[in-house]
Amino acid sequence: MTTKRLLILIPTLVILFLFQSYLWVPTYEEQTKGNPDRLYEYITPSLGDATSLNPIISSNATSSQIESLVFEGLIDRDDELRFRGRVARSWEIFEEAYFYMNPEASLPEGGAADAQRVVHILSTARERPEGLTPEVRATLERIKEIVRMPPEARKAIRRLKSSDGSETVQEIRVDIQAPPRIKLVLSEVDQDLFKNLSNLLGEDYFRAFDPLPFVTAEPPVDREILTEWAAELLPSVEHNPAIIFHLRPDVRFHDGHILSADDVRFTYQAIMDPANLSPRVSDYEPVKTVDVIDPLTLRIVYQRLYSPALGTWGMGILPEHLLNRTALRKEAEALGRDPEKFTMRQSRFDRRPVGSGPFIFEDWESDQFISLKRFEGYWEGPPHYHRYVMRIIPDLLTQEMEFYSGTLDNYTVQPHQVERLERDPRFQCFSGTSFGYTYIGYNLRRPPFDDVRVRRALGMALNVGQIIEFVLYNQGERITGPFVIQTDYYDRHIPPLPYDPQGALRLLGEAGWQRNEKGWLEKDGKKLEFTLITNSGNDIRKAVLAIAQDAWKQIGIDVRTDVLEWSVFIQERVNKHDFDALVLGWVMGIEPDLYQIWHSSQTHPHQLNFVGFKNPEADDLIVKIRQEYDHEKQVAYCHQLHELIAQEQPYTFLYVGKWTAVLDKRILIKDLDQDGVMQYRKITPTKTGDYTFHFNKWIKVSDMPQLSTEE
């Protein structure tokens, strides 16, 4: 037997052995015969393991999937994408706005702008709005209360670096003698409040307020610095959107403790604590105060306009009694650790979480499985499934074969399998366009990726159309920017980078890269080379890795590739910014707030702008998007940001994939109809394609029952 034939035979024997081993796995029917509890156990596969099970710390899809079952937020969205209460049974959104009296201003009707006259003008306009524009009338209708506030004296501390270039920092005491101001309580947020009130008080009333006369510094500082501080400490106008949440009285953590408003406040404080390195900080940085009114009532006030505010309170609530400083200190001492340096990231809670969701954490064997059991005391009633098991199976072929045998209850179909499995009568199929995208990200801190010409050239050398056709079997769509393609925030008029290897070489030539005698691109005697990495367990990303490597070598770039186990990939390379370029993807929400991923303040370790993208114009647009309540204006800002990022190419945007998931047809929704009669019905996805929305009501039956005709 030749060596070549032997090499062919060995893989063949391995495949036969593996296939035979799959046949030894008991079928679903065989499992349930000896173990009827299998009907009440849901087993799902994951390519990679979780990295943390604390929702304020983790930032990957596997962790989030488990956390969504263990923890509960104040709210979420229903199957029609409307906000609905979870831990919160109801809420009110309103606004408190403020503006300082401007002693230098003259009112349109003449005379000084003292507080009494300003209140009189506003009150009269509310009572007699005839002749005012519809916009001004609408603003006045929202004003429920006008309050005159007296002058206020307070102090602030500012720190100033020494002007001699040393690292010395001087503390400056700033004395503030604030003038009177007006507080307005509005029934809802009105971002055009001060614009509309200018029609009553004068166009320059708010703009002309000068805070500098009301502040002094000791020791004295330059006028320019003091002017900047004064504007920060005494803003002429202030928008303070507010939310009052009313909590359910019957929500308990898995250890029996009642979940109260104190736990919600604690969760917010834990996110904002720098020691915890939470990637969620940017979502809550706009919060001004979180006040507990009583055990079931919470008042949250924002320091400025923030349109995504309500949606951020879907964050899982942490139990204060298990994670406060007293509890962490006690745990640190038991472990022989320094209590002063011990944080949530070192706590056993990270691997043994306690939440208030429908499932209780049971066990976690790294790279093997995570198991949960149903919470009998769940406020909405316990799930039908008694256990939930996530098995870590990094090989897609293994996942597929175990699904066929019944040891897994669902399977995410690979692109080349879609046509076949959609026709299989044993399964129910769900498909849609992903909320997210796949990309190649470049570490902009490292050359040559700090040059936009190089980044554009790398994108132009890739034939993304062929990736979609031959790797995804056309189960995907080309994208050009960072917004969800199904929304109007995504600008479909922006063209993708052309596939143009020669154009890529011209750009690289402009950047100083020329071919040497061996055909490699070289600049200042240094070859253009780098390493492209991705995570294991994802065959599509591996294929993109290989295709990109080959395409870039064709134009003279020496590219090495590496595939890393998921936790190492995230914790050691991504979180620590230890990479040149990577293939990765984002799972997105429907909100257009991209602060965490693209704002320049989010480029530190463990934050999500790990490519290090920094652009002042982009920062400005990102802030405008999250402060804009008018949908059309928000869309316009999103399109500007989309265009800017497409020009800068910090990512080579590749595609948004289409997904197909299959379940056994015997998995159904078991529920009560409007008359209280038990019924079974088919699983139906939400508007976003989420077919697991009613998971707590799922059950697998041994024999198909009569289904309800209601869809």
**What are the φ/ψ torsions at residue 149 (nearest 5 degrees)?**
-110, 135
What is the per-residue pLDDT across 163-183, written as a single tens digit (0 to 9) for each?
Answer: 666 667 889 999 999 999 999
What gap in Å lies between CA 542 and CA 583, rounded to an integer? 9
Q: Higher-confidence residue: 415 or 83?
A: 83
Look at residue 129 and tell me whether its pLDDT is greater than 50.
yes
- Domains of the chain from N-terminus onward: 93-241 (no CATH), 436-659 (3.10.105.10)
Model confidence band, residue 300 (pLDDT cutoffs 50, 70, 90): very high
What is the per-residue pLDDT across 237-292, written as a single tens digit (0 to 9) for each?
Answer: 999 999 999 999 999 999 999 999 999 999 999 999 999 999 999 999 999 999 99
Q: CA angle at residue 443 from 441 to 446, to 5 degrees?
A: 150
What gap in Å lies between CA 139 and CA 580, rounded to an integer? 52
Closest CA to 258 of 55, 87, 67: 87
Q: What residues contact residue 184 under an 8 Å CB cut-off, 6+ apart? A: 95, 96, 97, 98, 143, 145, 146, 147, 193
pTM score of the predicted model: 0.83
Question: What's the token pair of residue 392?
Answer: 């870590």
Q: CB-based burial of residue 128 (10 Å sphere; 0-12 exposed, 13-18 middle, 19+ buried)?
A: exposed
The pLDDT assigned to 23 comes to 39
The pLDDT assigned to 368 comes to 95
Q: Can you spell out the DSSP letters for 361-374?
A: EEEEETTTEEEEEE
> 583, 573 in Cβ contact below 8 A?
no
Closest CA to 318 of 52, 566, 571, 49: 52
What is the per-residue pLDDT across 571-626, written as a single tens digit (0 to 9) for each?
Answer: 999 999 999 999 999 988 888 999 999 999 999 998 999 999 999 999 999 999 99
The pLDDT assigned to 9 comes to 38
Q: How many other CB atoms are found less than 10 A from the CB of residue 547?
A: 17
Whole-number average pLDDT of the chain:
91
Q: What residues contact residue 110 under an 8 Å CB cut-off, 6+ apart? A: none
Model confidence band, residue 423 (pLDDT cutoffs 50, 70, 90): confident
> 236, 178 in Cβ contact below 8 A?
no
> 68, 303 in Cβ contact below 8 A?
no
What is the per-residue pLDDT across 194-215, written as a single tens digit (0 to 9) for each?
Answer: 999 999 998 889 988 999 999 9
Residues linked to residue 532 through DSSP beta bridges, in sequence order? 561, 581
**In the Cβ-directed half-sphere of 403, how many Cα atoms lie within 13 Å?**
23
Amino acid identity, position 166? S
Q: What is the dihedral of CA 350, 351, 352, 353, to 10 degrees?
A: 40
Angstrom distances, CA of residue 483 to CA of 228, 436, 455, 645: 35, 8, 20, 11
What is the per-residue pLDDT across 430-458, written as a single tens digit (0 to 9) for each?
Answer: 988 998 999 999 999 999 999 999 999 99
What is the per-residue pLDDT across 642-701, written as a single tens digit (0 to 9) for each?
Answer: 999 999 999 999 999 998 899 999 999 998 877 778 899 999 988 888 899 999 999 998
What is the per-residue pLDDT across 51-64, written as a single tens digit (0 to 9) for each?
Answer: 999 999 998 889 99
The pLDDT assigned to 251 comes to 98
Helices (H), 50-192: 61-70, 115-127, 134-142
What gap in Å lies between CA 162 and CA 168, rounded to an integer? 5
The pLDDT assigned to 8 comes to 36
